[in-house]
């Protein structure tokens, strides 16, 4: 199926459509797809793998699974662009699961997320994401702000007990033991209700090739009246290193944080936010990758040279 293709014939309505975006993920894609049936349980589902022109065996791995619909983008559309392509061929559904290829879904995980959508005010449900040693990732976030970014720049992972206005990640581990709302959360696994998907519309691929797209999407979902709900009973293991991060991607991460903030705030606040992000790199400038990211962040004219080519 090409990037312009659509599902043909009578396509049945399913409880959940899974959209998996791949780019050179051959080693991790197989385990992820193998975990899907158990995670969905009694839910009817359809799985769409959108491949961003992988050069490894990712496409062959996807084709080896008869229940997978493979969409070959033909080029690297980035994360948001590939999600939009997957949405365009999803067919009728009650929910849309955006899932990274480097995760393994625990049995019943998607069912638990889907139950959270029984509340019509919940538009996005996110899981308990952990590593192979069951260490919980700090995936829940507060809204991006100047003070939170400044706190993270100054203290990093230290002083985990600091107040929420000085940290964007929710660092209190006890917060991950019970269901709760968050401003936004990691985009590794997000279950979105069909109503929320329709209301928010396409992901912003014009700004976000990779990184910050989930932040922007959650902000837009909340502006439409939907809540982001954390579901601790939905467990997902994240395979560390599945995506990797080069110096260019570290720079893109910071630049896109600024782009997202700029999209939703006035210029004076954006200047302070960008300065706070830059301070974080400056304080860690003993690392070459941090110095490189700082230089890119300070020279807006260089942003178009980052992956995705967004000016």
pLDDT tens-digit profile of 193-202? 999 999 999 9
- Per-residue model confidence as pLDDT tens digits over 86-119: 999 999 999 999 999 999 999 999 999 999 999 9
CA–CA distance, 304 with 311 (Å, rounded to integer) = 4
Angle between helices 213-223 and 78-88 (to 10 degrees): 50
Q: Which residues pair with 51 in a beta bridge?
A: 22, 72
- What percentage of residues in the chain have a pLDDT greater than 90? 90
What does pTM read for this prediction? 0.94
Residue 7 has pLDDT above 90, yes or no: no
Q: What 3-state DSSP class applies to 88?
A: helix
Q: Which residue has the higher pLDDT, 107 or 10?
A: 107
Query: In the Cβ-directed half-sphere of 37, how many Cα atoms lie within 13 Å?
Result: 6
Residue 167's pLDDT is what?
Answer: 97
Q: How far apart are CA 129 and CA 278, in angstroms?
A: 28
Average pLDDT of the residues in 144-162: 95
- Cα gap 291→295, rounded to integer Å: 6
What's the whole-number mean pLDDT along residues 164-175? 95
Can you read off the two tokens belonging to residue 183? 């401003």
Residue 32 near residue 101, CB atoms below 8 Å: yes
What residues are paired with 71 via a beta bridge? 50
pLDDT of residue 243: 43
* pLDDT of the residue at 9: 63
- Please give the pLDDT value at position 244: 47
For the residues of 106-124, what is the DSSP string, one character each?
Answer: PTTHHHHHHHHTTSTTEEE
Q: What is the pLDDT of residue 3?
A: 41
For 147, how many CA atoms within 13 A lie in the half-sphere containing its CB?
6
Tell me: pLDDT of 242 over 70: no
> SS3 for 181?
strand
């Amino acid at each position: 199926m090409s990037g312009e293709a659509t599902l043909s014939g009578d396509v049945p309505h399913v409880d959940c459509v899974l959209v998996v975006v791949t780019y050179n993920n051959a080693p991790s894609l197989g385990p992820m797809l193998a975990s899907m049936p158990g995670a969905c349980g009694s839910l009817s589902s359809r799985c769409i793998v959108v491949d961003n022109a992988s050069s490894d065996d990712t496409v062959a791995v996807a084709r080896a699974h008869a229940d997978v619909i493979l969409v070959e983008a033909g080029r690297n559309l980035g994360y948001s662009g590939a999600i939009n392509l997957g949405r365009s061929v999803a067919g009728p559904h009650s929910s849309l699961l955006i899932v990274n290829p480097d995760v393994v879904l625990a049995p019943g995980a998607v069912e638990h997320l889907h139950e959270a959508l029984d509340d019509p005010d919940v538009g996005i449900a996110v899981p308990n994401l952990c590593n192979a040693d069951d260490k919980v990732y700090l995936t829940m976030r507060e809204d991006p702000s100047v003070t939170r970014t400044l706190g993270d720049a100054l203290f990093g992972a230290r002083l985990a007990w600091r107040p929420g206005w000085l940290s964007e990640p929710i660092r209190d581990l006890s917060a991950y033991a019970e269901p709760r709302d968050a401003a936004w959360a990691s985009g590794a696994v997000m279950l979105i209700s069909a109503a929320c998907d329709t209301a928010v519309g396409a992901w912003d691929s014009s700004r976000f090739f990779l990184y910050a797209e989930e932040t922007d999407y959650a902000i837009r979902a909340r502006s439409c009246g939907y809540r982001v709900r954390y579901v601790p009973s939905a467990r997902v293991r994240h395979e560390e290193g599945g995506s990797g991060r080069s110096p260019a991607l570290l720079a893109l991460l910071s630049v896109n944080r600024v782009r997202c903030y700029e999209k939703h705030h006035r210029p004076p606040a954006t200047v302070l936010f960008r300065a706070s992000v830059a301070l974080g790199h400056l304080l860690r400038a003993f690392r070459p990758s941090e110095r490189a990211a700082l230089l890119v962040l300070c020279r807006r004219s260089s942003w178009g040279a980052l992956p995705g080519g967004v000016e």
